[in-house]
A and B are shown apart, each in its own frame.
Chain A
Amino acid sequence: MTTVNVIKPKARLSNSNILFLIAAVIFVLMYIFAIITFPASFMQFQTFFDLFNLNAPLIIMTLGLSIVMIGGGIDISVGSVCGLVTMACAVYLEHKMGSIGGAILIALGIGIVFGILQGYLIAYLEIQPFIITLSGLFLAQGLLTTLHKDPINVTMPAFVNLRDFDIVIAWLGAKNRLGVFIPCEIKPGTIIVVILLVILASLMKWSRFGRNVYAVGGNSNSAMMLGINVKRTVFITYVMSGLTAGIAGFVYIMTTGAGNVGNASGAEMKAIASAIIGGTLLNGGVGNLLGAPIGTLTLLVINELIRAAGVQSNFQAMVSGLMLYFFIVLQSLIMSLRDRTRIRFTLPPWLRLSEKAKSGNHRET
């Protein structure tokens, strides 16, 4: 029996790109809305730069975390590792042997060690990433409080100089109330964000490793059959997110100048939220690193808007939560519309309900 089978080739937007595009459009719309409602602050370039200046560590963490998430994993230890790094650097810098170079090495070292440890356990011993990185979160927190309990203000002169260093953009700025022209300022952390963004986004797009991460996140079994070393790929994603958490820690202390037990606490949740809002699918294989800063900024602008509107701060958390719901539902909706399948929440295996319960909501027909 013959069959009629007409297939027209058409290159539609990839899922990664469409989610990125949506994130970008939503961010731009929101920023325009912010400018219209609060022109006094949002019209200024400095406000925009400050989003980066003050939140560079979060963006950096989100970058590394996005790589892990694209590979189908999760890393909830990033916030605590970042906090641990700030305290370790502070303690070291206050020591008489301390140097900035040494502090950078400590930051990178702590990040990489956590990455290697967790990556090994997850990739090679195949333990649930959620469990492992949760343990990593506690471990880093414990180390942090063991290291030092009280806040340390770093007073080392060379470091203070670095902390206060600004890049001034003379031709961009605004007049203040007294009519004096204040130029825009960019912190070194912002530069690091941009450099990392370019490097990591290129890595994901143009390197063999980056494409392997997408393949593994898309279908790890297929990736294995296609000849990809799945374990090594997964391992490296965790090393990368450990490394970015370490860098984030250094940028953090470079911005605030102090080691503190509460540094970057809860940042992992913000990073996960940022990654999702930026278009990284929780169940892997889909995402674009350029979306990471956009996700972070979207989250921040919303919070800024709420603050500017003078609403209580507990609303910020609530609105962030609702945003997240909104994005996850939106993404699931788009995915199912595109694949013309029933709506299925796009959840990674480590987040699914038990097998039995899954069958219940999976299929009612």
Chain B
Amino acid sequence: MLSETILEMKDISKSFPGVKALDNVGFKLRKGEIHALMGENGAGKSTLIKVITGVYEKDSGFITLQGEPIHFKTPKEAQNKGIGTVYQEIMLCPNLTVAENMFIGRSHTPIVNWKQMNEKAAQLLKSLGIPASPIQELASCSLAVQQMIAIARAVDMDCKILILDEPTSSLDEDEVHKLFDLMRELKTRGVGIIFITHFLKQVYEISDRITVLRNGKFVGEYETSSFPQIELISKMLGNELEDITKIKKYEPIVSDTTIPVYEGIGLSSAAGVKPFDFSIQKGEVNGFAGLLGSGRSESVRAIFAADKVTGGGVRMKGKRVKIKTPLQAIRQGIGYLPEDRKDDGIIYDLSVRDNIILTLQVLKGFFKPFSLKQAEAFAKEYIEKLNIKTPTSNTPIKSLSGGNQQKVILARWLLTNPEYLILDEPTRGIDVGTKVEIQKLVIKLANNGMSLTFISSEIDEMLRTCSRLIVMKDREIVAELRGTELTEHDVMNVIAQGGKTI
């Protein structure tokens, strides 16, 4: 049975200064289907969504909703026509309550009925199992809960079309399942759902159909059930795909007599990690494994003194040094790419160039600015080296895709030429292609003698790159794993059993 088309887009084009984000893209959404929109970061998925909902004005093309041509000028119009949207960047107001965020901009009465609104919100929250109170300020909710609230808002709108732009990036497995159940239910009610994600597994679990975009162009539309994963990846990446498993790891010769590049003894921090010892050799890549909240990030933050250090001593190449602030860490040759680039790493309004030279500039001192020429030379070098996709080095970093932003931050640290570089979840929320590139880069840097810590939620990524895995549980190191034959299963076992077996 061919169900009817509710949304059809034809020949959509949209340019931003220096980038053609969409180039004659077509897209078709049917009633009661879950349609995955796939593509690398920067492929134009979010832009396509925003063209539908009237956030951006398209340059050319046609959109029809149930056969009628539409042209939304503001998100409000789209909302009124039954299109519920959860944008990639959570678009809620942090200073309003949870209930307000679910209902604001939707009511038609001039008076706010708080009681009724809170009751309705409480019902909705309960039915979706969201652990939040309606009267709580949104800012006090975790990112995952905020994401769920944005979804709840969109779902509640009695929509014909639901658009979810990477809604699962900050959700845990349970929450993802809840979301999927909800999507399935809406599907039976005839809602057409556009679903964007980076998790291939999720695409195969939930979607009926897949449309692939690449570099702003339409690649194809496929039935999920008859579209193998490897083919999906190759469509997304074009011919950039390379078999990463063939990458050769560099195994440093480690003996007890080698002096480690970095050695911390009894380190602890205000963030609450139990005192731990950690050292790393020249050219070594190690990883920290453990569940979310096990203290992986806190440990590396203690190494970099990103949280207040409360105890312990540090040796760099055998020499005692004092590292109490991030600046001291940087001066000692340690670099740290934070987990949350949105909060900790990026200065959104600054250009790519200024973001790249930032740390080096801090080291040099702000009163001795780099000449534009020099800064440009640095920026150019790294834009090329890391294959950063940006129109110019002068483009504000906020207009780049997530993966490219991540590369910019990485470039910032590489420019300072650290001896020891810590990467905390550098591959989270970015596309497959960039993930592969970053892993390859890590190995290349190690081959050149840099020591690295590489943290990822995806254990197979760490197994591929790290020669040593430190397993954490409850803010404590419970095991250290080595060996080339480690499998994901082994690591999961150790995490689950708290290190008792090995």
A14 in the interface, Cβ–Cβ < 8 Å? yes
- Is B350 touching A226 in the complex (CB atoms < 8 A)? no
- Is A225 touching B347 in the complex (CB atoms < 8 A)? no
Contact flag A10-B105 (CB < 8 Å), given A1-B459, A3-B291:
no
- Is A228 touching B291 in the complex (CB atoms < 8 A)? no
Question: Which residue from chain B places its CB closest to the CB of A17 in the assembled complex?
Answer: B137
CA distance A229 to B105 in the complex (A): 8
The interface stretch among A162-170, A180-188, A211-219, A320-328 is A211-219
* CB neighbors of A among B106-158 (8 A): 106-107, 109-112, 114, 131-133, 135-137, 139-142, 144-145
- Is A222 touching B358 in the complex (CB atoms < 8 A)? no
Contact flag A225-B326 (CB < 8 Å), given A1-B458, A15-B137, A208-B111:
no
B457 interface neighbour in A1, A4, A10, A339, Cβ under 8 Å: A1
Residues of A with C-beta under 8 A to B114: 206
- Is A224 touching B93 in the complex (CB atoms < 8 A)? no
Interface bin, chain B: 35 or more
CA distance A112 to B172 in the complex (A): 52
- Is B93 touching A215 in the complex (CB atoms < 8 A)? yes
Contact flag A14-B93 (CB < 8 Å), given A3-B291, A206-B112, A365-B327:
no
Number of A residues, CB within 8 Å of B? 50
- Is A341 touching B343 in the complex (CB atoms < 8 A)? yes
CA distance A226 to B93 in the complex (A): 9
Residues of A with C-beta under 8 A to B145: 7
CA distance A227 to B87 in the complex (A): 13
Residues of B with C-beta under 8 A to A1: 291, 457-459, 492
- Is B327 touching A364 in the complex (CB atoms < 8 A)? yes
* CB neighbors of A among B273-315 (8 A): 291-293, 306
Residues of B with C-beta under 8 A to A285: 93-95
A-B contact count (CB 8 A): 157
- Is B291 touching A214 in the complex (CB atoms < 8 A)? no
B136 interface neighbour in A12, A15, A341, Cβ under 8 Å: A12
- Shortest C-beta distance, B151 to chain A (Å), equals 14
Contact flag A363-B358 (CB < 8 Å), given A11-B136, A12-B136:
yes
- Shortest C-beta distance, A142 to chain B (Å), equals 36
- Shortest C-beta distance, B155 to chain A (Å), equals 15
B173 interface neighbour in A3, A8, A205, A209, Cβ under 8 Å: A3
A179 in the interface, Cβ–Cβ < 8 Å? no
A227 interface neighbour in B75, B133, B175, B350, Cβ under 8 Å: B75
- Shortest C-beta distance, B424 to chain A (Å), equals 13
B254 in the interface, Cβ–Cβ < 8 Å? no
* CB neighbors of A among B61-93 (8 A): 74-76, 79-80, 85, 87, 91-93
Contact flag A208-B326 (CB < 8 Å), given A215-B104, A225-B55, A225-B91:
no
- Shortest C-beta distance, B90 to chain A (Å), equals 8
CA distance A14 to B141 in the complex (A): 12
B166 in the interface, Cβ–Cβ < 8 Å? no
- Is A10 touching B136 in the complex (CB atoms < 8 A)? yes
B350 interface neighbour in A207, A228, A341, A359, Cβ under 8 Å: A359
Residues of A with C-beta under 8 A to B96: 211, 214-215, 218
A101 in the interface, Cβ–Cβ < 8 Å? no
- Shortest C-beta distance, A213 to chain B (Å), equals 11
A310 in the interface, Cβ–Cβ < 8 Å? no
CA distance A211 to B104 in the complex (A): 8
- Is A211 touching B100 in the complex (CB atoms < 8 A)? yes
- Is A2 touching B95 in the complex (CB atoms < 8 A)? no
- Shortest C-beta distance, B325 to chain A (Å), equals 8
Residues of B with C-beta under 8 A to A339: 139
A128 in the interface, Cβ–Cβ < 8 Å? no
A37 in the interface, Cβ–Cβ < 8 Å? no
Residues of B with C-beta under 8 A to A12: 136-137, 140
- Shortest C-beta distance, A283 to chain B (Å), equals 10
* CB neighbors of B among A4-23 (8 A): 4-5, 7-12, 14-16
* CB neighbors of B among A344-365 (8 A): 355-356, 358-360, 362-365
- Is A286 touching B76 in the complex (CB atoms < 8 A)? no
Question: Which residue from chain A places its CB closest to the CB of B108 in the assembled complex?
Answer: A208
A223 in the interface, Cβ–Cβ < 8 Å? yes
Residues of B with C-beta under 8 A to A4: 172, 291-293
Residues of A with C-beta under 8 A to B111: 206-208
Residues of A with C-beta under 8 A to B362: 363-364
- Is B291 touching A363 in the complex (CB atoms < 8 A)? no
- Shortest C-beta distance, A72 to chain B (Å), equals 10
CA distance A212 to B100 in the complex (A): 10
Residues of A with C-beta under 8 A to B100: 211, 215
* Those 4 A-B pairs whose CB atoms lie nearest each other, nearest first: A227-B105, A365-B326, A218-B95, A227-B76
Given A5-B175, A225-B55, A228-B105, 17 new contacts (CB under 8 A): A2-B173, A3-B172, A7-B144, A9-B132, A10-B136, A10-B140, A208-B110, A208-B111, A209-B110, A217-B95, A222-B92, A225-B91, A228-B104, A229-B76, A341-B343, A363-B362, A365-B344
Interface residues of B (CB under 8 A from A): 55, 74-76, 79-80, 85, 87, 91-97, 100-101, 104-107, 109-112, 114, 131-133, 135-137, 139-142, 144-145, 172-175, 291-293, 306, 326-327, 330, 336, 343-344, 347, 349-350, 354, 358, 362, 366, 457-459, 492
Sample (11) of A-B pairs whose CB atoms are under 8 Å apart: A3-B172, A5-B142, A9-B133, A208-B109, A215-B93, A219-B95, A223-B93, A285-B93, A356-B354, A358-B347, A359-B354
